[in-house]
């Protein structure tokens, strides 16, 4: 089981943002759906707080295996593009430094967390221990009547610009914007900022 703690008290998110918390919206592109056998081929992240974007992180990753055709079709990432990219063993320490002290934010967060954890274990590193927020669960709570909660659907619904769907850094940015929109649209359900305690 992941050591990451998912925050699920969505009524306290506005208070968390206003407290000055720093968030790291992140996304992985992978060779497939199974963390134990598939590999990360791109890792993107956006660090932000209540004042806006603080920094971005984005890199392709050489998975050291051929990319399956379906992977290339979805992400438009090719073998040629990752051939000279850094290997995950050098990417992960940089990402951990980037995300240090942050609350992770991801759409279908356990997917990205489990992939990252498996890659960390293969590199002999400790798995993630961050707090995290899943914007898929958050958007289902915020918009129960929607019927669809995929990231690209929400982006279209909220007129969030999508520059490169299924590319890690842009998906991370869209995730950040969905996160902030969910909070803004549920202000009538958010706990007052002056209330005691966060999580």
3-state SS, 47-73, equals EEECCEEEEEEEEECECCCCCCHHHHH
Quick check: is 130 catalytic?
A: no
pLDDT 10s digits, 90-139: 999 999 999 999 999 999 999 999 999 999 999 999 999 999 999 999 99
pLDDT at 168: 86
Over residues 68-94, the mean pLDDT reads 95
Name the active-site residue from 14, 107, 148, 166: 166
Count of C-beta atoms within a 10 Å radius of residue 8: 12
The pLDDT of residue 51 is above 60:
yes
Q: Where do runs of H (alpha helix) occur along 39-100?
A: 69-75, 79-83, 88-99
- In the numeric block, which tokens belong to residue 168? 């890690």
- C-alpha 73/C-alpha 155 separation (Å) is 21
Strand partners of residue 53: 48
- In the numeric block, which tokens belong to residue 47? 């660090």
- In the numeric block, which tokens belong to residue 122? 């293969």
Query: If 0-12 CB within 10 Å is exposed, 13-18 middle and 19+ buried, where does residue 77 land?
Result: buried
């Amino acid at each position: 089981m992941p050591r990451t703690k998912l925050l699920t008290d969505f009524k306290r998110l506005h208070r968390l943002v206003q407290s000055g918390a720093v968030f790291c919206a992140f996304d992985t592109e992978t060779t497939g759906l199974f963390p134990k056998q598939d590999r990360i081929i791109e890792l993107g992240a956006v660090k932000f707080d209540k004042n806006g974007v603080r920094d971005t992180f984005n890199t392709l990753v050489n998975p050291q295996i051929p990319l399956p055709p379906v992977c290339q079709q979805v992400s438009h990432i090719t073998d040629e593009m990752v051939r000279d990219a850094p290997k995950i063993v050098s990417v992960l320490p940089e990402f951990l430094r980037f995300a240090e002290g942050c609350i992770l934010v991801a759409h279908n967060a356990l997917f990205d967390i489990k992939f990252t954890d498996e890659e960390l274990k293969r590199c002999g590193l400790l798995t993630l221990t961050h707090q995290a927020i899943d914007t898929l669960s958050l958007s289902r709570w915020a918009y129960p009547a929607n019927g669809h909660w995929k990231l690209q659907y929400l982006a279209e619904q909220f007129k969030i610009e999508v520059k490169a769907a299924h590319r890690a850094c842009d998906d991370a940015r869209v995730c950040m914007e969905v996160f902030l929109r969910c909070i803004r649209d549920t202000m009538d359900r958010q706990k007052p900022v002056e209330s005691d305690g966060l999580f």
